[in-house]
Amino acid sequence: DYLFQVCTEGRLIVEFTYDDLMRIKSWHMTVRQHRELVPRSVVGMHTAQQDPSMLEQLSKNITRQGITNSTLNYLR
């Protein structure tokens, strides 16, 4: 496993119920921009090995608009 860093900028609006439990009534999240950062050492390692399939895999986004699959599944 490699350490990739994802930086996401956005706005989260949460509306709560007006009771003692303060439960979430609704929420809305807007992603303004995101970046996926791959360490140069990872890219260099696969460039040196001349592994085109791995380089193609690294060039694909690992998130969906800056949100990981596990986070998306949790929010559904």
Going from N- to C-terminal start, the domains of the chain cover: 5-75
CA angle 39, 40, 44 (to 5 degrees): 130
Q: Work out the average pLDDT over 43-62.
A: 71
Q: What is the pLDDT of residues 3-23, one digit of tens each?
A: 788 888 999 999 999 999 999
The predicted structure's pLDDT at residue 32: 93
3-class SS shares of the chain: helix, strand, coil, % to 5: 30, 35, 30
CB 63 within 8 A of CB 36: yes
What is the CB-side half-sphere exposure of residue 32 using CA atoms within 13 A?
5
